[in-house]
Every structure is written in structure tokens, then in C-alpha cells.
Structure 1
Amino acid sequence: SWTPSGKDSGGAPQLKGARWFSYDELKKCTSNFSQSNQIGSGGYGKVYRGVLSTGQVVAIKRAQQGSTQGGLEFKTEIELLSRVHHKNLLGLVGFCFEQGEQMLVYEFMANGTLRESLSGKSGVHLDWKRRLRIALGSARGLAYLHELANPPIIHRDVKSSNILLDDNLTAKVADFGLSKLVSDSSKGHISTQVKGTLGYLDPEYYMTQQLTEKSDVYSFGVVMLELITAKQPIEKGKYVVREVRALIDKNDETHYGLAEIMDPIIRGAPCLVGFHRFIELAVQCVEELASDRPTMAEVVKSLENILQNDGLNTNSTSASSSRTEFIGSGKGCLKHPYSDAFDYSGGYTLQAKVEPK
């Protein structure tokens, strides 16, 4: 346990601005972790809505007993979150680590995940301009992690279910559990066991096990394509990146050849400002070679240009599925994860977590 007195520190993280909560406090503010307050769940455990004694509404992520996230991963997430502060990153309010419990207390995001909004589950209507602003906000959050955090941070699991929307539809990137600090910037990459979510996973990282900031850029490009199609990246054995590449028709002035896979909500819109440039940028982000992809800072600049050129204010605000374990084996030279030889359609819902052996 970590206690606020520091007597029983057990390696308690050194935190700025994050509060230590007792188990009893969090139990009380969730009405004893009642099912009516449960707002999400995943491999790690459950998420509850709670109201602190101050009246602040929070989301409490409670790891299940014996959860896959060990104390070290938990501590990593707390230490990362407590020292990154940006309007497009989900803010950590505090944590609890006592009585065998691991809990993280976050700002509450009234409009849930981007994935829920795109699937129609949240009831939030995302028109094209809102989607552009969500893309820009998320990109700014990631660019902050890559360029301004010290040392830089690679998120490693960028996806639509890790982008949350507040009551103004401001996008906030969440879930730093897999994040990696880039402490040796001279090297430029980290050799690491592959982790991430299939569909968003950078193929170069998967095959070489060399993690760089460009791995996040690839995942973000997939999210950009998701903003166009509203589908999950892999559905019914089809991979959105391949579909888009095959369909693009630059002579189609309206939909760029993508009408058949576009979300009907935006396909019928009379004017999709900057649509062609948005598609081109997304395709650059999902280039096979990391060296051919832009940096997140360049992505931010491009998205700002799209919004500004169309007279939109870039500062204005814009509103978990089953997982299949996917084992990445061996070092180096693995099969391309999105090649024709790779079978996605094994009869399961594929929002696969890629975990090391």
C-alpha cells in the first residue's frame, strides 16, 4: 500500500497535483461500487462514476483482483499522468492503492469514448466539423506527449476507445497503461515486446519490435480513417487501411472514391470542408515505412490548416468491446500483421489486444 504519510511508501510514486484517496472514500462516492454507477469494463477491471465530497464528478478505474496490470504498470500510469498536463489529455485527479485495491481517479468525460459516438451508442451526433476538431484535439494531445513531455512519451495504444469526449466534445487522449518513456533520445527507438491493439498496430513496430513515436502516428491515421467510416478498423475480415487505399479516386471531387465505405452521417453532408486533404493526411500517417509518415506535430499543423482554410476556429471545442488475445511470438521478421496471408476472420470479434508471451 501507498499511504499519504509516506511511512508505508512501498515505492509510492512521486506525484504533482494527484491526490491520494482512501479506499473508504472511493467506496462511499460510488455507493459501494454499485452496478448502477458502473460505466465501463475491460480486461483490467471496471470503471465507475463517482461524486467526490467536493461535488466533482469523477470516473474511477478499479483493477480487478489479480488484474493483468501489476503494481509496476499501475505506478507507471500514475507517474505519467501526474506529470502531463494538457487540455487534450485525460487528467488524473488521484489514486488509491490500499487493501489490495488499485484505483485511478480521472476527470469524468460526459460523452464517453469516440468509439461509442461513432457506433451510435452514445447518442452524440458527430457532424464533419466536430470530427475535424476531435482529430485536431487528439493530435495535439499526442504531439504534446511526443514533443513537450520530458522525457517524451510514446502512447502505444492510440485508438478510438482511448479518445474520450467531454461535455463540449473536446477530445482527450486516455489510457496511458502501455505508454513508454523515451529516455534515450539519441537512439530514437525502444526495443520492446509488442503491445497494442490489432487494427491500429503499426506493422513496422510489429515486425521489428522497434517502437518509435511514428508507431503512434500510424495508430492515429487509423483513427482518422475511422472518423470517415465510423467502422472499427477490422470488420468482417476487411482492414480499413487496405480498403481506403484500394478505393481512393482523386478524380471524384466529392468523396474521393470512398462513398461506399463512408459513414452515412457525413456522406450526405452538402459540403465536407477539407475532406480530400484529410484523407491524404490519414493515408500519409498509415504509410508502411515509419520514415514516410509525418510527425504528430506536422499532423497538428496540417489539421490546423484544414480548419483555418475553411474558416473554422481551431480553438473551439467539438461529444469497451470484447478483446481477443493475440500473441506476438519471436523476435524480428514476423509476418506482416495485415498481409493477405493473415487471417482476421476467425469467427471472433476482433478488437484484439496484442500482448507479449
Structure 2
Amino acid sequence: MYVKFFPANKSTFNVSEILQIRDMFTGWNIRDSDIFGPYELLNFTLLGPYTDVIVERHKSGVNKGVLAGIIVGAVALSVTLTALISVFIMRKWYTYQTSKIRLKIDGVKCFTFGEMASATNNFSNSSQVGQGGYGKVYKGILADGTVVAIKRAQEGSLQGSKEFCTEIELLSRLHHRNLVSLVGYCDEEDEQMLVYEFIPNGTLRDHLSVGNSSSNNSWHVTGKAREPLSLSMRLRVALGSARGILYLHTEADPPIFHRDIKASNILLDPKFVAKVADFGLSRLAPLSDADGTIPGHVSTVVKGTPGYLDPEYFLTHKLTDRTDVYSLGVVFLELLTGMHPISHGKNIVREVNAAYESGMMFSMIDGRMGAYPSECIEKFVALALRCCQDETDARPSMAEVVRVLENLFRMTPEVDTTPSESMSTSSQSVTPPSSLPSGNPYFSTDVSGSDLLSGASPNITPR
């Protein structure tokens, strides 16, 4: 649509009037009606007597303000984002450096990636001795000839950086013959490795799985024949494990809750001394309040391994020392029966408890154990089931567990420390019924525990 304007009462518009008309259209100051509009200025042409009038084109003040606001806002946003990213990077770098300095002060040896590769023949398959949810375990020989186990995390492993740092912090301060010893660690080139003393006899689960398919766990040592454990050896392992956990509960300062006690986390050295391992999920016990009161639990997200989890902890999220007692009780039941905690929908605690109450307990005992004193077995079963009570207060303390096991161990016939030695039996000894299968019908793949953790550094008094 073309619109022509003519002045009233005179022949032509002056320059001021022309500019006013032009500004009216370019500034969108045009009234709309219900019938016509909206309007948009396509061209402003001066004809006739106005062809010689020069009208300078300029942008409206409104557009300049909007453009300036956009530019200023973009600059401010860029500066803010740059500052935030810089602060984040600096904090991460400071935390990382502080952590490495602290670990060095604590006396933990930091290995280079090259040293780890050299110790394991560049992580060859022949050096691999195990694999689990965390990653792979390699047997390595350090430059000084020390034989070690190198636990190398894989990308996307169940244990993350918090678990990695926690295990280093705890193990560097814990010293007990029934706890695995940390030699050092490697944390470079996006690699996380923990270096432990090498335990040639593998895990307790390896020995309980003799004749069965082996469990898949991060400490499993492959390619080595296992002999069944006698009752005396099983009690020795139970007692050693209990003593290691008792140290965590009572002699560490502050005390520590392991939170992932299971057969695949109990290692056996050449003399079959039990060593508790894998502190990736451990938590520090609560400290005393201002009035000197020590809380009885730590409220935390539930972590652990199915089959070993304390049911009260699972429901209330309250972690206590009795949580470890429950898990160790499940290990005792494994020692007695050879079963896995959960298999084919069956729970070892319920199965053993039902057999115990019906007087059929000896039908559950592992047939590969050999002959055993019946009174000793009955008391061991009773202790295991007390540890596995649903109510926390109904379970014994770890100190009481150690005392009972010490008494039971004295009841067993005198034998050597290796399981291959024959065990002499007393007049009370019972030979398992021949109808019992030598193999174990229970089998399940071990489920590794997984992340959380207290970032605090415990002050541990070495034993």
C-alpha cells in the first residue's frame, strides 16, 4: 500500500515536517484499528518538490539500547563462567595435591605407572591372578624383589575415587597380623592401583568352593588346586578374622566399621593365617558429642554385599559394630556348610536356622570338612546364628565372638597349620553321613560391594 501526504493550508511541507513524518513511521508510532494494521514501513520516498531534500538515515535509540544491553550481558556472562571454571579447576588441583602430600607424609609409597608396568610384565595375562567388579589383580615383582598383589581399577569400576582414597588412608594406619598390609599405590595417567602384600593362598571363598565353580571376586587366585579345609583350619580362619575386626572396632582410634565382611574379602597367607581385606566401603565410627556421649551408630547410605547385609542396617540405615558381627556370622555359616550366602533363591541364614531348629543341623555340615567333634560343631553353629540375629541388640559383641572362638579352637584336636595334614579325632568325633554329597549344590556369583565414604583421615594407633 502506498500512502501520499499533502499539507493543509499550504502547498508543501518544510524539512522539519518531513523529518517528523519520517520518524513517525520508522518509530512505529502508528495507531492500529480492528480492521487495518499492523503496518510496516517498506520505503520512504521523497518526490516532486521534495527530491532535493536530504534526510539522514539513523537507527532508533531503542535499537541501540537493546544492542548495547546484549553486548554487555554477553561479556558479563563470559567473564562469570570463566571465573567459575577457573575456581573449580584450582580447587580440584589443590585437593588432589593436598591428598598426595598427605599420603606421602603418612608413609605410603607412591609408585609410578612405569614401575607397575615393569613389575607385571606390562600387565600381561600371565601375571593376572584375579578379576572382580573393581578391576583386575596382578602378581607383580618390584625392583627390590618384593612379591606384591597389584589391584588395578578399570574404567567405570564399582569402586570410585572416594573408595580408592579411603582404602589408602585406612590401610596406611592399620597394623595387625589379621589385616592385609598395604605396600603402596599408583595414581597417575588416569590409573588407580593399590599395591598389597601378595597372599598366595587366595581367599577363603576359593577354598570353600573346592569342587564347585569358583566365585568371581577381585582377590581370586586362579590356576591353583585347593584342598578342603578341616574343622581346625576353619576355626583358625574364623578366629583370625574375628581378631582383625575386633582390632578395627576397639583398638583403632577412632574405631572403624568395615561394612563389607565376606568370604571373598578374607585372604589366607602361606600359614593359613586369615587377613581381612578390602576397606573401600569402611566408615569411621562416630566420635563423642560435646557432653562426652558417643552415638551408637552412623547414619549412612546402605552399602555392602547381598547375602551379608545386616537386615536392621538395611532398613534403618544405621551402621554399627554389630553390622560387621552379622556379616561375619554369615561367613561362619559358610565355613560350616560350604554354601554361598544366597543361591537359587535360598538364604543361608534361613536354611541353617531351619535345620538347627528341626534337629537336622548335621545334615547341613560341609561333607568335605572330614571328621569333627560334634560338641564343637554345635557350639560353632549356635555362635554363628547368634551373630545373624535380626535384632542388633541380640547379637554378641566382637570381643565375645573372639572369646567363644578361642574356647572352641581349644576343643579341636591338635593339628598342623596346613589343611593337607590328617586330623586326629577324639571319642566325640563324628563322621559326616556318606549320603552327603561331596560337592555343594549352592552356587552364586559373588556380588562386589560398591561407593560413599567418610573423607576424614582417621588417627590410628598402630598395634
TM-score (norm 1): 0.83
In the TM superposition, residue 353 of structure 1 has moved relative to its aligned partner by: 4.9
In 1, Cα distance between equivalents of 2:411 and 2:386: 20
Q: Is the 8 A contact 2:305 2:447 kept in 1?
A: yes
Query: What are the superposed Cα offsets for residues 22-47 of structure 1, whole Å, 9 maximum, x if unpaired?
Result: 11111101000001111111121111
* Counterparts of residues 57-68 of structure 1 (less than 5 Å): 57-68=147-158
Q: CA distance change for structure 1 residues 318 and 149 in 2, over 3 Å: closer, same or farther?
A: farther
Q: Does 1:11 align with 2:105?
A: no
Q: Is the 8 A contact 2:163 2:451 kept in 1?
A: no
Alpha-carbon spacing, 1:32–1:353, altered in 2? closer, same or farther (3 Å): closer
Q: Percent identity?
A: 51
Give how far 1:263 is off: 1.1
Among 431, 440, 446, the residue aligned to 1:351: 446
Moved more, 62-71 or 25-34: 62-71
Change (3 A) 1:288 1:249: closer
Partner of 2:167: 77
How many residue pairs get matched? 316
TM-align CA RMSD:
2.4
2:131 to 21, 37, 41: 41
Q: Deviations over 1:262-305 (max 9, x none)?
A: 21112x41535611111111011001111110111110111011
2 CA distance for matches of 1:258 and 1:7? 55
CA distance in 2, matches of 1:270, 1:200: 26
User: 3-state DSSP class of the match of 1:39?
Assistant: strand
Q: 1:275 aligns with which of 377, 382, 396?
A: 377
The answer to whether the Cα contact below 8 Å between 1:194 and 1:354 also exists between their aligned partners in 2 is no
1:300-319 equivalences in 2 (<5 Å): 300-310=402-412
- The one-letter code matched in structure 2 to 1:287 is Q
Question: What aligned pairs does 1:258-269 form with structure 2 within 5 A after superposition?
Answer: 258-266=361-369, 268-269=370-371
2:337 aligned with 1:247:
no
Q: In the alignment, what sits opposite 1:102?
A: 192
SS at match of 2:275: strand
Mapped contact 1:20–1:94 kept (Cα < 8 A):
yes
TM-score (norm 2): 0.64
Query: Which of residues 309, 319, 337 is equivalent to 1:229?
Result: 337
* Separation of aligned partners in 2, 1:215 and 1:45: 26
Cα distance change, pair 57–241 in 1 and its aligned pair in 2 (3 A): same
Deviations 1:293-347 (A, max 9, x none): 011111011101111244659xx8567xxxxxxxxxxxxxxxxxxxxxxxxxxxx
Give the conservation status (yes or no) of the 8 Å contact 1:195–1:353.
no
Which letter maps to 1:19? K
Structure 1 residues not aligned, in runs of 5+: 1-5, 251-255, 320-347
Residue in structure 1 matched with residue 278 of structure 2 by the alignment: 175
Give the 3 Å change call, closer, same or farther, for CA 286–134 of structure 1 in structure 2.
Answer: same
Question: Which structure: greater strand fraction?
Answer: 1
C-alpha distance in 1, partners of 2:96/2:143? 26
Structure number having the greater helix percentage: 2
Which residue identity lines up with residue 446 of structure 2 in the other structure? Q
Secondary structure at the residue paired with 2:340? coil
Match of 2:320 in 1: 212
SS of aligned partner of 2:239: helix
Q: Work out whether residues 194 and 355 of structure 1, in 8 Å CA contact, stay in contact via their aligned partners in 2.
A: no
Contact 1:65 1:100 in 2 (8 A): no
Distance 1:196 1:269 in 2: 34
Aligned partners of 1:45 and 1:63 also within 8 Å: yes
- Structure 2 residue ranges without an equivalent (≥5): 1-93, 215-224, 289-293, 420-442, 453-463
